[in-house]
Structure formats: structure tokens, C-alpha cells
Amino acid sequence: DDFDATRANWRQGWIHLEDEPLQFLAEQLNRHGTGKTYIASELTHVTVTGSFQIAQPWQTLQLLAELHGWQLEQSGNTRYLRP
């Protein structure tokens, strides 16, 4: 993958997305954060737009879950996002 300055600002710990699949955000959280994030298959193609903190995966996913009425669960360092 090539670095894309319009989508990531790694030095400040943020990723900027515009109409990207939720699965892409999960992959970035997994790659650059701690732990592992799993997205339910029903949500993988939902698109998200915004700026998200890579170092704060729980808070990032919790905000999305609250906004959309989804369920977020954590077991150890593993997070699960479901409808």
C-alpha cells in the first residue's frame, strides 16, 4: 500500500476517511493500533466519513456504535462491532 496523505496523518495519530467502507477503518485500526477489531459481515460495506484516532480504537468504534445503534463488545484486546 502506498502512503496517501489525504487519508492518513500518522504522525498525529489520525486517519481521515471519506466514504470508505467500515471494514477499511477496521483494517487501519488493526494495522496501527493495539488489539484486533472484527466487523460483522452486515456492516463491512457501510461507509464512514470523518477523522478517527488510530490509537483510540475503542473510543472510535464506541462513537460509531452510539451514532448508528450498533453493539460494540470487547474481550481482552479484541473488539467486535455488530448491528
Q: Say if pTM beats, i.e. exceeds, 0.75.
A: yes
Confidence at residue 33, expressed as pLDDT on a 0 to 100 scale: 76
Q: How many residues does the chain have?
A: 83
Where on the phi/psi map is residue 82: left (φ > 0), alpha (ψ -120 to 50), or beta? Answer: beta
Give the integer Cα–Cα distance in Å for 51 and 9.
10
Q: How confident is the model at residue 10 (pLDDT cuts 50, 70, 90)?
A: low
List all residues 6 or more positions away from 69 whose beta carbon is below 8 Å from its beta carbon. Answer: none
Higher pLDDT, 1 or 70: 70
